Amino acid sequence: MASKKKTRITLKQAVERGKLNEFIAEREDQSGDMDQFNACLTSMAGTRKEAPAASSREPSGDSSGS
């Protein structure tokens, strides 16, 4: 008999089925680059360590109100 390799659950399946703990448990032995992860997460979140300077608007010169 050929051994059946268990298919790992995908993140999408885990979210849909409410099985995030299973998803995480299947990957506990994996490691990664924490600096790259944090940079990616920060980029996706749209946050930065330093806030950019606010831009100022030039007056439109239209004081007619229409």
- How do residues 45-60 score in pLDDT, each as one tens digit? 886 666 667 777 777 6
Residue 27 lies in a domain: yes
Neighbours of 14 (CB within 10 A): 17
Residue 51 lies in a domain: no
| Cα–Cα distance, 17 to 24 (Å, whole number) | 14
pLDDT tens for 10-52 read 999 999 999 999 999 999 998 899 999 899 988 988 866 666 6
Based on the number of CB atoms within 10 Å of its own CB, is 44 exposed (0-12), middle (13-18) or buried (19 or more)?
exposed
| Cα–Cα distance, 10 to 23 (Å, whole number) | 7
Q: How many domains is the chain partitioned into structurally?
A: 1
Say if CB 11 and CB 29 are below 8 A apart: no
Residue 59 lies in a domain: no
Residue 49 lies in a domain: no
Residue 65 lies in a domain: no
Residue 36 lies in a domain: yes
User: What would the two tokens of residue 56 be?
Assistant: 């100022």
Residue 35 lies in a domain: yes
pTM given for the model: 0.44
Q: Structural domain of residue 18, as residue ranges?
A: 11-40
